[in-house]
Structure 1
Amino acid sequence: MTGDVKTILITGATGGIGRAVCRRLAAGGQRLILAARNQERLDALARELANHHPRHIPLAVDMTDESSIARFGGALDAQGIVLDGLVLMPPQAHSTNDALPESAAWRTLFQDCFIGPLELLKTAVARMRPDPEAGRRAKIVIISGISSAQVLGHYATSNVLRCAWVGEAKTLAFALGARGIHVNTLSLGGTLSPWYREGIEKRAAAAGISYEQRLAEETANVPLGKYGEPSEVAVAVEGLLSAFSDHMTGLNIMHDGGFTRSY
């Protein structure tokens, strides 16, 4: 690497938030390892971003499948990739009011939303070579949700899984800090990704009102009076990967327009 160019692994790269993060980091001159399930969509994203950096690498991986993660690690090694950062977007559990799902459901949720993604995180950490004395640090940003700090009734299982990620991030902050690896979580409130917009449209149609009316109703209790944009998430991620966070680790940062009111 030369200058300030860093190699950052982005999971969920082809999703609404993932694309915004990739575009922001690519525009800043970073080299990206683009990871998601669909290779064709990854290849298309790499072509889109090539104007900023011709060496973005699209690599398919299924975070719910540990054999897929092992192959992904082998692919990183085959190309001699050393990582400076990771943006981990674990799969999220669907909304549910069921606080007591069957044991089999819990096992599946923890495998898909925690254990598998944690294996990918371990794969990334093994390929980081920070050197704090030389001013080179590695940064991990885990994308979570506000139920990590404030329980939401219709996210019963997510309340547990997101708290698990916050706890793991704080544990890793202690375990990896001396090596110069920083671990922070960014917990999102309502964010207007394409699928979230579709959900608002459906709720508006069911209520017989316009999208704008429904959006105003849903954001009435958000101090900033709005949901976030993927581009705003990308700015926050960029900051946490930069020198801005050189004395920050183990933090769970709310990105929710002030909705979470905790002290």
Structure 2
Amino acid sequence: MSENGKAVLVTGATGGIGSAVCARLARAGYSLILAARDTGKLQANCARLEGLGCHSYRWISVDMSSDASVASFSHELAADGTVLDGVVLMPPQMRPTPDCQPPADTWRQLFQSNFIGPLELLKGAISTMQPDPSRGRRAKIVIISAITSVQALGNYATSNVLRCAWLAQAKTLSFAMGERGIHINTLSLGGTLTPDYAASIGDRATKAGMTFAERLAEETSNIPLRKYGSPEEVALAVEVLLSPFSDHMTGVNLLHDGGFTRAY
């Protein structure tokens, strides 16, 4: 599907999933704005996009844990008259932790970097949107979260809280902005075989005296499809949610977990 001329902001654009999303959208004809903390990785990702024949892209560095950085990002985004048609928002990932009662300072830090900062960035992005439903112009926001958005996991105690907060916030925003033609949907991921995650499986396999394939089969034995998702599969789901497919969808959470979630 071709979406030539539409501008999309992708946060977390240098990670395994973010890079795949950027590549997929570039091939589909979107103009891209890449956002992440590491300027070197942003530049490298833009070079890869150039190799794909994508000529309309740029990057803006942002640290979501810093109010000043987010404010600077929003100012730069608006300064050149950017009009966004879409946003792919990936709040920073949290490491597994079974501690359900961390110190107050830990909660403050997590909420700042994983919720408050990304939400403020989203506010700035929304301010640049100019949807006009009467003329068929709609704006699409996809928030990529994790399986703990819908299913509590014991080793993701703090993530259980913050991911659910994203689902509630997305639903609230969808009510408030639907009339304006701004669609807000969420994508809840299960295990995704990014390069970093594959490396961690390899490490666990080595420590257990197993092959990579044996360890992967063991870890995915509780998933009906018996596999983890790939970054490319996530990217395809994102592209679909940005497309006319979602013209009558908002406030929807899609599970991308191979059937792992067992609730109705």
Tell me if both proteins adopt one fold, taking TM over 0.5 as the criterion.
yes
Secondary structure in structure 2 of the residue aligned to 1:184? strand
* Offset, 1:104: 1.0
Measured after TM superposition, the shift of residue 53 of structure 1 is 2.6
1:152 aligns with 2:163: no
Counterpart of 1:18? 18
1:58 counterpart SS class: strand
Q: How many residues align?
A: 262
Whether contact under 8 Å (2:87, 2:142) holds in the other structure is yes
RMSD, aligned CA: 1.3
SS at match of 2:108: helix
Shift of 1:71: 1.0
Return the TM-score normalized by structure 1. 0.97
**Partner secondary structure for residue 33 of structure 1:** strand
Aligned pair 1:222/2:223, yes or no?
yes
Shift of residue 94, structure 1, vs aligned partner: 1.3
What are the residue-to-residue correspondences of 1:37-48 with 2, within 5 Å?
Answer: 37-48=37-48
After superposition, where does 1:1-263 map in structure 2 within 5 Å?
4-50=4-50, 51-263=52-264
Partners of 2:156 and 2:149 lie apart in 1 by 10
Moved over 6 A (4+): none
For structure 1, which segment, 172-181 or 62-71, has the greater mean C-alpha deviation from structure 2 after superposition?
Answer: 62-71
Q: How far did 1:5 drift?
A: 2.3
TM-score w.r.t. structure 2 length?
0.96
| Per-residue CA distance 1:28-83 (angstroms, 9 max, x = gap) | 01000011111222122112212433120111111111111111112112221110
Give the percent of matched residue pairs that are identical in Structure 1 and Structure 2.
60
Give the distance between the partners of 1:232 and 1:53, measured in 2 at CA.
21
Conserved 8 A contact 1:13-1:36: yes
Kept in 1: contact 2:183–2:249 (CA 8 A): yes
Q: Secondary structure at the match of 1:221?
A: coil
Contact 1:29/1:52 (<8 A) preserved: no
Amino acid across the alignment from 1:76: L
Unaligned runs of 5+ in 1: none
- SS of residue in 2 equivalent to 1:47: helix
